[in-house]
Every structure is written in structure tokens, then in C-alpha cells.
Amino acid sequence: MPHRPTVSITEFTVSDRGAGPYGIAAGPDGALWFTMVHRGRIGRITPGGSVTSYQLESASGGPSVIAAGPDGALWFTEFRSHRIGRITTAGEFVSFPLPTPEAGPFGIVSGPDDALWFTEAGAGRIGRITTDGDVTEFPLPVANAFPSAIAAGPDDRLWFTMNQANAIGAVGIDGTVSVHPLPTPAGAPVGITAGADGALWFVEIGAGLIGRITPDGKITEFALPDPASRPHAIAAGADGDCWFTEWGANRIGRITPDGRIDEHDLPRPSSEPHGIVQGPDGAIWTALEIGSIARLAVV
């Protein structure tokens, strides 16, 4: 029998469809924080569904991925304005320009060195920014790699997907980069997360696969039932499994450490699920570009 737990899904409307909720992160204040990529806003939702949002200086900056920082604030990438933003839980924000033109920052995560690490999809670099705003950039050894999501690994390295190079990369805090090509052509990896099993788990949007890579570079891939499901983002849950969004299939999936997969349809068609995270209440929360945030709880 397939592994299929019972999941309860609740949706909260947080904006109109045009705002485009995209990235989502658990904040230090017990709330979920999310980006509205098309309106230049940062939103906050409590587990009970109370919503607040804050307008950034630029409505067209393209806030994309958001992460909790080591300083008690939320940090986010501004893909179109090529900046890194910071917002406090009180809604005060500042942003820092990147030194490389057309950097296109996308993924961001808190690193083991109390700095934020991010990808520069447009420039093919990995960036590091301190909580004071000092930026260092590390070029990748592969041209036109389009680095996308990034996660802190169990080995004090930062692991990231290389969407156009069809590879997974890792960078040490000294800037040393290693590259691990994927076995499946045109996998186009996007989301990545650190799993409870000591490996990194990632999604291959181009091939409909979920991948697992160990710190020593061993890669295993698991096929989704629908190869056209276009998995986009992935997050580790407290149960040891990883949860992922299926943008093309309008579903949320779950994969166990041994590769068993179950999937759950979202209530409304064409929801466009993107970012996903475990919330402070133990549920899984995901941003839907239709203007909602969905909460998934195993019951």
C-alpha cells in the first residue's frame, strides 16, 4: 500500500492574485513571513490566520526568497532590484545593493558563520552578507549555471542548486566551491533543503524528480508519479520527511527518507504553489501565487 497520511489543508487569503505570494519562512516571533514578488511587499501571517503586510521602498524590486537571520530579523532577496533586504519583526526594513550588476539574487539562508548566504542567479555567483551589510561574492567555476536555492548543510558548507548547469554545488565559508553533476539530463534543480537524515534533498523541476545528495556527493533520485508535476521548492519537516510543492500539478508532496512519496491536491485549481516551510505550530505552510497561504497538517 502507498504511504499516504491524512492531511488537512486550510487556506488563508493574504492578497489579491496579482501580488504573487512566493517565498515563505518561519520567523522568530512565532509567525510566518512571506514575500509578494509582484508588489514589493513582505507579509506576515500568524498560525491563527491574522495577516499584516509591509510595503518595501520599491514595488518592482521582486522580493523572492525569505529566511530568518541570526539577528532576529528576516532577510530576503530582491531579484529585480539586485539587492538584499532585511525586515525586523516590527516591520522596519533596509536593503543593501550588491556590487555585481545584474546579480539577480534568489535563494538565501542563514549560514554557520552568523552571516546570510545567497545565490546570484544572474551573475553566477554565491554571495555572503553580514548582518552589518558587508557583501562578499564567490564566482562559480561553471558558466551560466543560474544558481537558485541554497541551504545550510550538516558539514558547515552551503549547498545550492545550479538550475542551468544541471548540478548541485557546495561552498565552504572560505569560498571553496565543489560541483556535483546530476545523473539525469535537463533535471533543472531548483529547491534544496537539509534533511533530518544528514543529506540534502532537492527537486528537479525539469524532470519531475526528487533528489538526495550526501555530503560526500552521492546522488540518488526518486521519480514522481507525474513527470510533468514540476516540483519547485522543498522543506524538511519535524517528522523526518521532506515536503515539496508541485507547481505544475497543483499539489503538495511528501517524501520519506527511504523514498516513499505521497501527494495531496490543493483545494483550488491552478494555485501555483511555490515556497514551503515548516511553521512554529508543526504544520507545513506554503505560499500560493493565487494570493493565499496554505497550512497542511497531518491528522
* Measured distance CA(8)–CA(12) in Å, rounded: 13
Give every CB contact of residue 275 below 8 A, 6+ residues apart in sequence: 22, 23, 24, 25, 34, 35, 65, 66, 233, 245, 286, 287
Specify the amino acid at residue 45.
I
Catalytic residue, from 82, 232, 264, 274: name it. Answer: 274
CB-based contact 146:206 (threshold 8 Å): no
Query: Among this protein's residues, is 274 annotated catalytic?
Result: yes
Using CA atoms, how far residue 251 sits from 244, 265, 270, in Å, is 9, 4, 10
Sign, CA torsion 12/16/18/19: negative
Q: Cα torsion for 9, 187, 179, 155, to the nearest 10°? A: 20
- Give catalytic residue positions: 274
